[in-house]
């Protein structure tokens, strides 16, 4: 190749680089064979303790769920996972159609008009929704009502600071409020009065943003049914492993009026000259590469492969499979809550509140409880005190369909000893 | 043909007594491509000369719209909601965008036909 | 060949999959929660059996081009091969099954991997620390600008402007605006590089930062980078590096040494984590010492071999996402760096530069080359020479699709008319490059003799050119309430909706 170029060496091609910047080499060890690479990486993996999913009772935004084999069978197809962003639509119909299906699934689950092609995670989804409300209403304050995931609120604040949006706690909206943001079920697992919060927002001319658990939507009233304007959430439970926090997937759906303000990608249908239906990236004129500094957001990607996992999961489950999963989780969690409350000194933190499959319980010396369980290979409840001062010695426990009844017995046996 | 004046940002304006009609030029519509949507204000709003009053979108681009003159919007072309392509097919006629009740004289730095032609030529690739 | 939607394949007769029963005492949710809490209508999810699902997605997969099958010379995207061993590493249960809220003592391996990745990236780009939190390139870019804003704020300096070259990717100004900055464009000179004179005229005490890609989006190395850095720093502003083109010079030179204060990287480009059809990726940001206090929290710290997460960072800009980053992608990138080593990464960049120059030479007779070579890892050609035949960059792109090549980036950067940006990467063999050049030659030949035929391509793909304008108009009609066809989702025909909901009320599910 150098001959074709008519140059003698690589240095002739690198002429533009000042000599003073040229490196001898990188300060990194030399490369390894595949065998040695996997050996080293495996050593790191082995230095982590993996709790079996059946003995995991900790949630806080990431949950152990049954993941059908079909999910990874599809997401590990190289045609999906090594494909690029579908800019050349004709060569990307697989990805585009899968995302179109994802958008429809999310819109159906949330009972709202349109969903986008996915976002990075639940936290940034909340931030994006707040920015939509800011752009739409022209007001620069958002209210966070109740126990919204503290990390989501932290991310909301970080985005808010860049954009000049103030984040306040409470539910007293006024004419400076762009939106009320609430979580259903909330961070502790408790159910909130979503209808009332939505009404409070609308009465003040603000938007209602509901941060929802996607599996709960098989049973609970979805945002569209109680009139919320934007629904966001974390889709990890729809077929993604915990993976130490990521990559997972955020989703965002909204009413028709707000669609032009949706950040990120949108897939829509289109037709070719023969009238064949295909799919394209739509309404690109909203996005950062065209609006540049006038875009709602700067997000230009989606978590496409994770959205694909979610689509496969939801399609595998169907409406009745999903409802069954949600109900099994509900019943196991309620059974566990009852049994735990019988332990001496253990009592529900909010006895008058309902929950789905995650609940807060006050215990004697939370730290030692968690340690005791860990020593027996059980990932017990989540300590929430460091986020919420008023919740001293409160742990949140989660149950899903992976915590079989024997696992509940094993948990109780350790705590009773 | 009414005496059209132009802005450097490719809008045109014609005046009829106390009223002005505004649109975008043929050059602008050809650069933009097929128009798919316009974000426009409502009648009654007051605009200043050079103020942005909306956005015009094609599939691949979005451009701000600037008012050539100050005044109060008396009419918005409703047809553009369902037929934005009028801007491409008839930018100076049926593709008009706004009508204003003038609040002031036309700014002195608006371009005439010849001057605008030069601007258009300089902008085109 | 097309594939119906899962919704169109759905049949009400399909049973739900067999799932575990609760097997505990206690009533179901529907009996406990009040009516108003419950969903009135079931979600309209499709009902397919597993064999139908697998067939559906396999057929969808066959409708895609991907790097595992095709050459993807997309400029600025670095579509290099995704080694499959990275997938094996990320899927290890010791990584995949870790809950982010486990005790630090139980995830020392994961924290060690993050720490080592951070060290490796520092070595590649020449910075002091790296945050691994950002989930994507644009996300990382915004994070960097927030840190720069925090830095100036801490010195009580009111700097409201960010300078961006006119050749920059649109994300640059969008991220700047999102961070509360006013964006000012700096012109490129005739040689395609940033104009120092224009830069000087636009720098001021209000400048927070200059954002630069190097090599720039034309694939040209900014020769005067040391002077640029000096100019920028002299005004008290910071220099931000957009890492889109880092593949050009790993092991050859380092952005940190050039004077960049914040160095953004794309793990899904330079470090080969797979694109996944659009994501997930990861956009780490490296920083010099002045910006270290502002890094997102938590950072990973290592003392005496023990790893911890450090949350005690009072000047941190806070969190930019939940948990610690796209950990699964970090595992892939780390595995790649481990396998390549310093020698391998250096070789990769050299091969990338060589391939780009070679390919540029092969096609320079067929397409316009607006700027003089040599280029670095990518080059920008122009289809302007075919303008009088009525053939545009878009036609070239679509014609390439018909010849089994994914099209290069077109219409970017905006400073070149009918731009075609080509980045072959080090993955491709000489044979592939020769074949691609041959295809370009053939297409350009056709443009001169039979241009109309190019307007009809692609003809060999599942669909031909899709009418985006008609689609956009249909969407806008829906958004304005002039139609009920959402276009952005599938909707059940009205009668089917009624029957389904009636059925559900009668059916008594599990």
Q: Where are the domains of chain A?
A: 53-66+318-416, 71-310
Element (H, E) at C272: none
Residue of A nearest to C456 (CA): A273
Residue A31 CA to residue C319 CA, distance in Å, equals 34
Residue of C nearest to A116 (CA): C488
Element (H, E) at A252: strand A250-254
**Which residues between 47 and 76 in chain B have a beta carbon less than 8 angstroms from any beta carbon of chain C?**
57-60
Integer CA distances (angstroms), C372 to A16, B83, C193, C429, in order: 12, 46, 11, 25
Do C380 and C450 share a structural domain? yes
Number of domains in chain C: 4
Q: Do A86 and C479 touch (CB under 8 A)?
A: no
Cα angle A11-A13-A17, degrees, rounded to a multiple of 5? 75
Longest dimension (CA), chain A: 85
Select from C29, C66, C82 the Cβ nearest to the Cβ of A330: C29
Select from C82, C146, C327 the Cβ nearest to the Cβ of A162: C146
Do C213 and C336 share a structural domain? yes
Chain A contact set for C328 (CB, 8 A):
243-244, 246-247
- For the stretch C262-315, pLDDT in tens is 999 999 999 999 999 999 999 999 999 999 999 999 999 999 999 999 999 999
Do C489 and C404 share a structural domain? no
Tell which of C340, C369, C387 closes a domain. Answer: C340
Look at residue C464 and tell me if it is in a domain: no
Domain that holds residue C408: 347-455
Chain B contact set for A260 (CB, 8 A):
39
Element (H, E) at A353: none
Which region holds residue B82: left if phi is over 0, alpha if psi is between -120 and 50, else beta? alpha
Chain A contact set for B58 (CB, 8 A):
285
Q: Do B60 and A291 touch (CB under 8 A)?
A: no
Half-sphere exposure of A105 (CA within 13 A, CB side): 35
Chain B interface, best mutation among A281, A288, A290, A295, by max B CB count within 10 A: A290
Q: Do C473 and B59 touch (CB under 8 A)?
A: no
Chain B contact set for A290 (CB, 8 A):
60-62
| ipTM > 0.90, yes or no | yes
Integer CA distances (angstroms), A384 to A62, A245, A389, C123, C430, in order: 15, 18, 8, 38, 58
- Number of residues that make up chain B: 125
Question: Domain of B46: which CATH number?
Answer: 2.40.50.100
Residue A393 CA to residue A396 CA, distance in Å, equals 10
Interacting residues of A228 by C-beta distance below 8 A, sequence separation 6+: A112, A194, A198, A208, A209, A210
Look at residue C493 and tell me if it is in a domain: yes
Q: Do C469 and B36 touch (CB under 8 A)?
A: yes
Counted across chains B and C, CB pairs separated by less than 8 A come out at: 27
Select from B36, B39, B62 the Cβ nearest to the Cβ of A290: B62
- Nearest to residue A121, comparing CAs of A220, A237, A224, A288? A237
End-to-end alpha-carbon separation of chain A, Å? 74
pLDDT in tens, chain A (417 residues): 777 888 888 898 999 999 999 999 999 999 999 999 999 999 999 999 999 999 999 999 999 999 999 999 999 999 999 999 998 899 999 999 999 999 999 999 999 999 999 999 999 999 999 999 999 999 999 999 999 999 999 999 999 998 899 999 987 999 999 999 999 999 999 999 999 999 999 999 999 999 999 999 999 999 999 999 999 999 999 999 999 999 999 999 999 999 999 999 999 999 999 999 999 999 877 766 666 656 677 787 899 999 999 999 999 999 999 999 999 999 999 999 999 999 999 999 999 999 999 999 999 999 999 999 999 999 999 999 999 999 999 999 999 999 999 999 999 999 998
Q: Do A291 and B59 touch (CB under 8 A)?
A: no
Residue C240 CA to residue C250 CA, distance in Å, equals 18
CA A386 and chain centroid, separation: 22
- Number of residues that make up chain C: 510
Number of domains in chain B: 1
DSSP letters for B21-79: EEEE-HHHHHHH-SEEEEE---TT-EE-TT-EEEEEEESS-EEEEE-SS-EEEEEE-TH
Chain B contact set for C469 (CB, 8 A):
33-34, 36, 58-59
Classify domain A53-66+318-416 at the CATH class level.
Answer: alpha beta
Q: Do C486 and A26 touch (CB under 8 A)?
A: no
CA C28 and chain centroid, separation: 44
Q: Do A290 and B59 touch (CB under 8 A)?
A: no
Fold of A71-310: 3.40.640
Residue A210 CA to residue A225 CA, distance in Å, equals 12
Look at residue C70 and tell me if it is in a domain: no
- Rg, chain B, Cα only: 13
Element (H, E) at C191: none
Q: Which chains touch A (3 or more CB pairs under 8 A)?
A: B, C
**Which residues between 205 and 264 in chain A have a beta carbon less than 8 angstroms from any beta carbon of chain C?**
217-222, 225, 234, 241-247, 249, 256, 259-260
Using DSSP's 3-state secondary structure scheme, residue C185 falls into strand
Chain B contact set for A258 (CB, 8 A):
none
**Which residues between 282 and 301 in chain A have a beta carbon less than 8 angstroms from any beta carbon of chain B?**
284-285, 290-291, 294
Determine how many CB atoms are found less than 10 A away from the CB of residue A405: 15
Look at residue C272 and tell me if it is in a domain: yes
Q: Do A284 and B60 touch (CB under 8 A)?
A: yes
Q: Do B59 and A285 touch (CB under 8 A)?
A: yes
Query: Is A156 in contact with A131 (CB distance < 8 Å)?
Result: no
The edge-to-edge listing of strands for the beta sheet with B11-16 is: B5-6, B11-16, B19-24, B98-102, B71-76, B46-47
Select from C469, C477, C482 the Cβ nearest to the Cβ of B34: C469
Half-sphere exposure of B36 (CA within 13 A, CB side): 26
Do C46 and C89 share a structural domain? no
Q: A179: which strand partners?
A: A142, A207
pLDDT in tens, chain C (510 residues): 689 999 999 998 899 999 999 999 999 999 999 999 999 888 999 999 999 999 999 999 999 987 777 888 998 899 999 999 999 999 999 999 999 999 999 999 999 999 999 999 999 999 999 999 999 999 999 999 999 999 999 999 999 999 999 988 878 888 888 888 999 999 998 888 999 999 999 999 999 999 999 999 999 999 999 999 999 999 999 999 999 999 999 999 999 999 999 999 999 999 999 999 999 999 999 999 999 999 999 999 999 999 999 999 999 999 999 999 999 999 999 999 999 999 999 999 999 999 999 999 999 999 999 998 899 999 999 999 999 999 999 999 999 999 989 999 998 888 899 999 999 999 999 999 999 999 999 999 999 999 999 998 888 888 999 999 999 999 999 998 999 999 999 998 775 555 554 544 434 333
Q: Do B60 and A285 touch (CB under 8 A)?
A: yes
Domain that holds residue B85: 5-123
Token readout for A404 is: 């079989």
Query: Is C16 in contact with C50 (CB distance < 8 Å)?
Result: no
Interacting residues of C495 by C-beta distance below 8 A, sequence separation 6+: none
Do C374 and C238 share a structural domain? no
Look at residue C69 and tell me if it is in a domain: no
């Amino acid at each position: 190749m150098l001959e074709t170029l008519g140059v003698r060496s690589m240095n002739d091609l690198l002429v533009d680089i000042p000599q003073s910047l040229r490196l001898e080499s990188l300060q990194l060890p030399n490369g390894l064979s595949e065998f040695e690479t996997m050996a080293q990486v495996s050593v790191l993996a082995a230095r982590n303790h993996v709790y079996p999913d059946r003995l995991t009772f900790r949630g806080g935004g990431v949950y152990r769920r049954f993941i059908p084999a079909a999910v990874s069978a599809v997401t590990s197809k190289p045609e999906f996972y090594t494909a690029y962003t579908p800019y050349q639509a004709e060569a990307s119909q697989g990805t585009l159609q899968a995302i179109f299906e994802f958008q429809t699934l999310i819109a159906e689950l949330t009972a709202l008009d349109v969903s986008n092609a996915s976002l990075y995670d639940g936290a940034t989804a909340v931030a994006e929704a707040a920015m939509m409300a800011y752009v739409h209403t022209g007001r620069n304050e958002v209210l966070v009502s109740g126990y919204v995931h503290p990390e989501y609120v932290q991310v909301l604040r970080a985005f808010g600071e860049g954009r000049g949006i103030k984040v306040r706690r409470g539910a007293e909206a006024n004419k400076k409020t762009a939106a009320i943001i609430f979580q259903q079920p909330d961070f502790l697992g408790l159910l909130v009065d979503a209808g009332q919060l939505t009404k409070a927002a609308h009465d003040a001319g603000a938007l209602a943003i509901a941060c929802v658990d996607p599996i709960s939507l098989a049973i609970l009233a979805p945002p569209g049914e109680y009139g919320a304007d934007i629904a966001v959430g974390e889709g990890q439970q729809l077929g993604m492993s915990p993976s130490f926090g990521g990559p997972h997937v955020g989703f965002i759906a909204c009413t028709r009026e707000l669609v032009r303000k949706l950040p990120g990608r949108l897939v829509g249908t289109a037709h070719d000259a023969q009238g064949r239906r295909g799919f394209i990236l739509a309404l690109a004129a909203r996005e950062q590469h065209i609006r540049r500094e006038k875009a709602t957001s700067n997000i230009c990607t989606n978590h496409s492969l994770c959205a694909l996992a979610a689509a496969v999961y939801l399609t595998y489950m169907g409406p009745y499979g999903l409802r069954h999963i949600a109900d099994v989780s509900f019943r196991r969690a309620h059974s566990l809550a009852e049994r735990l409350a019988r332990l001496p000194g253990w009592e529900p933190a909010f006895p008058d509140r309902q929950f789905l499959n995650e609940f807060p319980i006050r215990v004697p010396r939370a730290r030692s409880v968690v340690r005791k369980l860990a020593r027996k290979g059980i990932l017990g409840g989540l300590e929430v005190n460091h986020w919420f001062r008023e919740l001293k010695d409160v742990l949140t426990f989660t149950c899903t369909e992976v915590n079989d009844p024997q696992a509940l017995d094993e948990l109780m046996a350790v705590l009773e000893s | 043909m009414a005496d059209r004046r132009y802005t450097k940002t490719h809008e045109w304006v014609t005046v009829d007594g106390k009223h002005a009609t505004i649109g975008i030029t043929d050059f602008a519509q050809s650069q933009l491509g097929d128009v798919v949507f316009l974000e426009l204000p409502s009648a009654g709003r007051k605009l200043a000369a050079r103020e942005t009053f909306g956005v015009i979108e094609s599939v691949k681009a979005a451009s701000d719209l600037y008012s050539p003159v100050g005044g109060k919007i008396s009419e918005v072309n409703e047809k553009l909601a369902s037929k934005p392509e009028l801007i491409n097919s008839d930018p100076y006629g049926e593709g008009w965008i706004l009508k204003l009740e003038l609040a002031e004289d036309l700014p002195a730095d608006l371009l005439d036909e010849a001057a605008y032609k030069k601007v258009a030529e300089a902008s085109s690739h | 060949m097309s594939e119906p939607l899962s919704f169109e394949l759905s049949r009400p007769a399909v049973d739900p999959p067999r799932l575990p029963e609760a097997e505990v005492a206690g009533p179901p949710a529907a009996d406990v929660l009040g009516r108003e809490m419950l969903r009135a209508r079931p979600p309209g999810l499709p009902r397919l059996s597993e064999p139908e699902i697998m067939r559906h997605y396999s057929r969808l997969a066959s409708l895609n081009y991907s790097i595992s099958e095709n050459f993807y010379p997309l400029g600025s995207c670095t579509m290099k091969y995704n080694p499959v061993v990275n997938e094996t590493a990320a899927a290890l249960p010791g990584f995949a099954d870790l809950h982010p809220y486990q005790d630090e003592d139980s995830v020392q391996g994961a924290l060690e991997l993050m720490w080592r990745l951070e060290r490796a990236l520092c070595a590649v780009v020449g910075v002091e620390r790296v945050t691994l939190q950002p989930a994507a390139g644009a996300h990382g870019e915004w994070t960097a600008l927030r840190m720069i804003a925090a830095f100036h704020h801490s010195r009580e300096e009111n700097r409201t402007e960010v300078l961006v070259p006119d050749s920059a990717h649109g994300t640059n100004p969008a991220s700047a605006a999102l961070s509360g900055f006013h964006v000012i464009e700096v012109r490129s000179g005739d040689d395609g590089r940033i104009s120092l004179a224009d830069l000087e005229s636009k720098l001021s005490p209000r400048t927070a930062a200059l954002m630069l890609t190097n090599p720039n989006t034309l694939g040209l190395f900014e020769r005067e980078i040391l002077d640029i850095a000096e100019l920028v720093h002299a005004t008290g502003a910071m220099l931000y590096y957009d890492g889109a083109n880092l593949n050009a010079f790993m092991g050859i030179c380092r952005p940190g040494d050039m004077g960049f204060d914040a160095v953004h990287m794309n793990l899904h480009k330079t470090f080969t984590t797979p694109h996944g059809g659009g994501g997930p990726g990861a956009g780490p940001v490296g920083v010099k010492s002045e910006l270290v206090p502002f890094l997102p929290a938590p950072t990973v710290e290592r003392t005496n071999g023990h790893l911890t997460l450090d949350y005690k960072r009072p000047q941190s800009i806070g969190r930019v996402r939940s948990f610690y980053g796209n950990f699964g992608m970090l595992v892939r990138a780390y595995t790649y760096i481990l396998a390549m080593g310093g020698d391998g990464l250096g070789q990769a960049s050299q091969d990338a530069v060589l391939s780009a120059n070679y390919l540029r030479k092969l096609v320079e007779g067929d397409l316009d080359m607006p700027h003089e070579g040599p280029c670095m890892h990518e080059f920008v050609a122009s289809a302007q020479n075919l303008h009088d035949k009525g053939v545009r960059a878009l036609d070239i792109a679509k014609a390439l699709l018909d010849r089994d090549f994914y099209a290069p980036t077109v219409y970017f950067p905006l400073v070149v008319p009918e731009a075609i940006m080509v980045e072959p990467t080090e993955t491709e063999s000489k044979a592939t490059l020769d074949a691609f050049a041959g295809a370009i030659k053939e297409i350009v030949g056709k443009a001169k003799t039979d241009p109309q035929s190019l307007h009809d391509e692609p003809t060999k793909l599942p669909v031909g050119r899709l009418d985006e304008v008609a689609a956009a108009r249909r969407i806008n009609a829906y958004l304005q309430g002039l139609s009920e066809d959402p276009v952005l989702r599938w909707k059940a025909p009205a009668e089917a909706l009624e029957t389904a909901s009636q059925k559900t009320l009668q059916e008594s599910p599990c």
